[in-house]
Amino acid sequence: MPPTLREELRQRKPFSSPQHEAQLSLVRTGALLNDDVEQALRPYGLTAAQFNVLRILRGAEPDGLCRNELRDRMLTRMPDVTRLLDRMEAAGWVVRSRGSDDRRLVSTHITKAGRTLLDEVDPVVEEAHQRRFRHLGREQLRTLIELLAAVRQGG
């Protein structure tokens, strides 16, 4: 049987409520999952946020997305998407262009180099996901997904 969160955290006192324990458990689990992805991406010089941006832009092809649309689709909040895109553009993974109708609109697109990088990294990240969730059956995963969706909708 896996250790409880209290055991992992070496906490002596009980949590103040099941909701508090659930919140901390989600944070702890999210940190572990993020660490898995970051470790998988590190050899490619890619962060989890950059990987997320590339996946979003690949899904938005051929239209691309403006900065705010991209920010709104990200898994985690990014305070400075512009700076993130600056670094990604310098690496050659994305390109930004001004609209011909509205010069204020700047659209971001994934480049061929960005797609190539994603093609290389996708199986590595998938393996990290498989490793972390391998002990859960399909029905357990479906239940977990539904419970997490319910938590997100409850706020």
Domain ranges of the chain: 17-129
The amino acid sitting at 20 is H
The per-residue pLDDT for 103 is 61
Please compute the mean of the pLDDT values over residues 98-104 and round it to a whole number. 68
The amino acid sitting at 22 is A
Whether domain 17-129 has CATH 3.40.710.10 = no
Report the share of the chain in percent with pLDDT over 90: 74
- Determine the Cα angle at 47 with ends 44 and 51, to 5°: 85
Residue 3: exposure state from Cβ atoms within 10 A (0-12, 13-18, ≥19): exposed
The per-residue pLDDT for 154 is 84
List of residues 6+ apart from 67 with CB closer than 8 A: 81, 82, 85, 106, 108
The per-residue pLDDT for 17 is 93
- Separation between Cα atoms, residue 48 and residue 9, nearest integer Å: 25
Q: Model confidence at 143, in pLDDT bands (50, 70, 90)?
A: very high
Q: Model confidence at 100, in pLDDT bands (50, 70, 90)?
A: low
Report the share of the chain in percent with pLDDT over 70: 95
Indicate the average pLDDT of the chain.
Answer: 91
Going along 32-116, which residue ranges are E strands? 65-66, 94-98, 106-110
Residue 114: exposure state from Cβ atoms within 10 A (0-12, 13-18, ≥19): buried
Please compute the mean of the pLDDT values over residues 73-83 and round it to a whole number. 88
The per-residue pLDDT for 11 is 87
Rounded to two decimals, what is the model's pTM?
0.86
Do residues 109 and 64 lie in contact, with contact meaning Cβ atoms separated by under 8 Å?
yes
